[in-house]
Each structure stands twice: as C-alpha cells, then as structure tokens.
Amino acid sequence: MSQKTVPPAQGLTTVQWLICIIAAIGFAFDIYELLMLPLILGPASQELLGTAPGIWKGIMFFVPAFVGGLVGMWGGVLTDRLGRRFVLTWSIILYAVSAFLAGFSTNIYMLLFFRCTTFIGVCVEFVAAVAWLAELFPNPIQREKVLGYTQAFSSIGGLLVAIASEYLSSKGADGKAVADALPAIAIPGFLTPLLGQVKEGFEHAPWRYTLMSGLIPALPLIIIRPFLPESPIWAQKKAAGTLRRPSFAELFSPELRRTTLVTTIMFACSYGAAFGAIQQLPEIVKGLKGTQAQVETAVGELKLPPDPDKAKAMKIATTIRTEQKVASQYTKMQEVGGLVGRFLLALLAVKIASRQKLMRIFQGPGLFIVPLIFYFFLKIPNTTFFELDLTKMYLGKLPVTTMSLGMFLAGLFTVAQFSFWGNYLPLAYPVHLRGTGESFAANIGGRMFGTSFALLTTTIVDLLPASVGTTPEKFALTAAGVAAFVYLLGNICCFFLPEPDPNAAHD
C-alpha cells in the first residue's frame, strides 16, 4: 500500500470506541494479573506452605510464564486461523475466571495451576488485541495513537492492583481490617473431599480477594461482545480465500529471520528487566528502615493472646500484611512511572519515524539509570520528601522518597518498552502471519525466556553467601546485575532492529 492510497484519519465510530475500550480493559488486566503475584506470594505462601516461599518463589514466577508462553505461541496461530475477535474474547474470559478461582486455592499446587491458566489467557490476549487494533485503523498516525494510548492502560492496571492490594491489607475507619468485612471464602461442601478447605482463620485473607478481583474484565466483555466486529482486513482475506495458512517456519524465512530473532531477544530483555529486577521490589523494600519501623509499630499495637503459638501467628500475619502494604505503595510509584513512559512513547511514536531511534530513547538512559537504582536502593538514605495521601481518590498513599522516585524512573524506562512492541510487531509481519509472529516474540522471547530472569534472580540470591548482606540486600544487588545485563543486550540489539513499513498493517 503506497502512502498516496492511505486514507485520512477518521473520527472513531461507536463500534471502534467499543473495540478500543475492550482492548484497553484487556491490556489493563493483563498487567493487573501479572503484577498480582509479587504482592500476594508472600502471604499466600505463609498460609499454604506455613513458611516463606523459598524455592516456590522461582517456581511461581517461571512455571506459569513458561506454560503460558508455550500455549500462547499456539494462541497466535489460532489468532491467524480463527480470527482476532474470537481469540481475544475467550482469552480474557480464561484469565479472568482463572484469577477468580485462584482465590479459592487450598494448597500451593492449586494456586500454581490457576496461575498457569491465567498466564495462558494473558499471553494470548496481548497478541490478539494488538493485531485487532492494528488492522482496524488504516491510517498510520491514527493507528500509532490508538495502539499507544490503549496500551497505556496496562500501567493503569498495574496501578490498580497495587491500590487493591494496599486497600485490602489496610484497616477501615472503624479500625477493623478491610478484608474482614468481605464475605468469607470457602470451598463448597461437595468439593471439599477433592480440593480440601480454606484453613480456619484465613477465610478473609487479603491475598485471596486480590486474586479474585481479576474477574472484573470478564463482566463488561460478556455484555459488549455481541457488538464487536472481526478485523476487516482479516475477514476480507478469509472470505476471499486469499488468507494463507500461518507457519512457524515462515518466521525464519530469509526476509523475516532477522526480524524474528532480534525482536525475540529484545522482547526477552524487556521482560527480563521487569521480572528479574522490578518485580523483586516486594523483597527489597523489606530492607528499608521505614518498612521495619512500620512493622515494629504494627506488631507493637497488637493485643496478643496468652497462647504463645497464637501470638506468634498474629505477629507473622501482621508483619506480612504491613510489608505487603509498603510494597504496594512502592509498586504504585513504579506503575505511575510506567504510565508516564507509555504515554510518552505514544506521543513520540507519531513524531519519530525511525523505530530504532524511538527504542533507544528508553534503552539508552535505562542502561545506566535502572541498574544504579537497584544497586543503591539499600545503600543510601531513603529520604522522605513528603507523602501523598490520596485515599479520598481511592489511590491510598504514595510515599515520595529517594527510592520511590527511583522506582518511578525504573518504571518509566522499562514499562514503556512493552508499548513499543505493541506498536512495532503488527508492522513486522504480514496479515496471515501477524498473530504467529507476534506470539513468537512476545511468548517465546518475553513470557518464556524473559520471565525466567525472575527464577535467575532468586537462584542467585540463594547462592550468595551471608557476607554479601541481608536477603533484601542480596535481592537489590542481584536485581542491579540482571538489569545491567538485559539493558546492555537490548541496547546492542537495537542497532539490528529492522525498520518496518508504516503501511504494512494493511498489506
């Protein structure tokens, strides 16, 4: 398609608005589901295992991502075979229902199973949504804006899960825990012989409600789905019988081999920075003096029973809730940074023609800034400048400290890269191969290899000697090293990233 034949940008129709809304909801809860794990794993492990996650931390990060990436790769093929709308709809329903059922987990294996099915839905949703949006708007500038701004809702999803986690872990105006006012969670009687039962005293655990809130995106989708059309370009080719069958082998044909290899490696680097460094934040903030002071205050306010075992259990539960609350506050600052980064990329995407230059705006500074943030996280005073109390806006509290500002920058440079791939990949592959190509880079590179850096980080932490420092200090140091490696590799690969045809989405 030549530039002369590209139609001008048109105002969005009602149907196009509906599609953008559903895609934005899907993107938001995609990240909502992913960022949920670091916030709930500690308290969930304490209940289901009776101890800290240990080796299960790496397993819970890596196995669902590996399974989701493997199945999601074939989800891309289904997107090319069955259509964008069909696959998008059922992938959102799958991850929403899986997240809800995960809230009923009675053992760590049940939680792992539903995290796997949640990841499968998330992995497929991204590919289908990006292909659908790209093919809906033939004007390149309008397409870049739509892809950029709808993907920005991913960071809103990350912000929402941090808010939900903090809120459910806090106390209401009456001094009682918010979660205690919610309906008790229990396995139906006829299923208890098979699944067991929620432990007594944990029927109102905040981590369970946090998981179950992932059901929200399925509700509007059920209502809106009958009004959503299929991608017009895909539907036309399908009806005309000119839609070729997708093939993984074609991804490595001479004309596409470089694109496939470079995008897969760079996608892995983007996810490596997020999972190997940023998502280790809940472990790192435990080492902050401010966190320790809040834990001591919360435990000191407890009215402990005479039974030493019950008193110990109350102290442990209070410590976990307090640490989860602080981690949620810092996660919010990181997601605010990610939101700014995504909007910044959406603005720059229509002004900078070169995709290499656009990516280097975030990769270049990130190479120096992100590793240094984690290296110094627990080494320098975490000065508190002020605290934003946004509880009346349902945003809770946002601590503006030395390190929370650092996490703002880490989120800005890292999270913006995910929006970049949503804009880039639809242009890199033809219509019949679009979902397959996107899914290979996103799921093999990002979900499978990229998320494995979380397992790498936890493994290195376990191997480091005690002389390195406390466990939070080990996590901070390892996160710095992982961030330096993936950013360096990403910067190198930037120079080999092919420049796509801006009109390729409709060819």
Q: Give the model's pLDDT for residue 3.
A: 45
Is 103 domain-assigned?
Answer: yes
Q: Which residue has the tokens 């009215």?
A: 303
pLDDT attached to residue 483: 97
CA distance 353 to 375: 35
Write the DSSP string, 262-281.
HHHHHHHHHHHHHHHTGGGH
Residue 423 falls inside a structural domain: yes
For the record, the structure tokens of 130 come out as 């990006």
CA geometry: angle at 157 spanning 63 and 400, to 5°? 105
pLDDT for residue 500: 84
In angstroms, rounded to a whole number, what is the distance separating the alpha carbons of residues 264 and 284? 29
Domain assignment present for residue 242? The answer is no
Residue 1 has what pLDDT? 41
Backbone angles phi, psi at 388, to 5 degrees: -85, 120
Token reading at 472:
């939070």
Residues 6+ apart with CB under 8 A from 59: 112, 455
Domain that holds residue 92: 12-227+253-506
* Structural domain includes residue 233: no
Domain containing residue 405: CATH number: 1.20.1250.20
Encode pLDDT of 207-251 as tens digits: 898 888 888 767 776 677 667 787 888 888 888 888 778 788 889
- Domain presence at residue 142: yes
Instruction: Report how far residue 128's alpha carbon sits from residue 76's, in angstroms, rounded to the nearest whole number.
Output: 7
Q: pTM for the full model? A: 0.78
pLDDT reported for residue 504: 57
Could you give the number of structural domains in the chain? Answer: 1
What pLDDT does residue 4 have? 46
Q: Residue 85: is it exposed, middle or buried by C-beta count within 10 angstroms (0-12/13-18/19+)?
A: buried
Q: Is position 276 within any domain?
A: yes
CA distance 131 to 111: 31
155: tokens are: 């960071």
Q: 173 is written with which tokens?
A: 């105006």
pLDDT at 413: 95
Classify residue 178 by its DSSP letter.
G
What does the pLDDT read at residue 2? Answer: 40
3-state secondary structure 209-255: HHHHHHHCCHHHHHHHHHHCCCCHHHHHHHHHCCCCCCCCHHHHCCC
H or E, element range at 385: strand 384-390
In a domain, residue 240? The reply is no
Q: Is 202 helix (H, G, I), strand (E, B) or coil?
A: coil
Secondary structure class of 126 (helix, strand, coil): helix
In a domain, 7, yes or no: no
Say how far apart CA 433 and CA 426 lie, in whole Å.
10
- What pLDDT score was predicted for residue 135? 82
| CA 38/CA 34 separation, integer angstroms | 9
Structure tokens at 402: 């030395």
pLDDT of residue 226: 64
Among 390, 379, 343, 394, which residue's Cα sits nearest to residue 470? 379
Strand partners of residue 390:
396
Residues of the chain with pLDDT under 70: 1-9, 172-175, 217, 221-222, 225-226, 391-396, 502-507
Question: Which residues make Cβ contacts (< 8 Å) with residue 306, sequence separation at least 6?
Answer: none
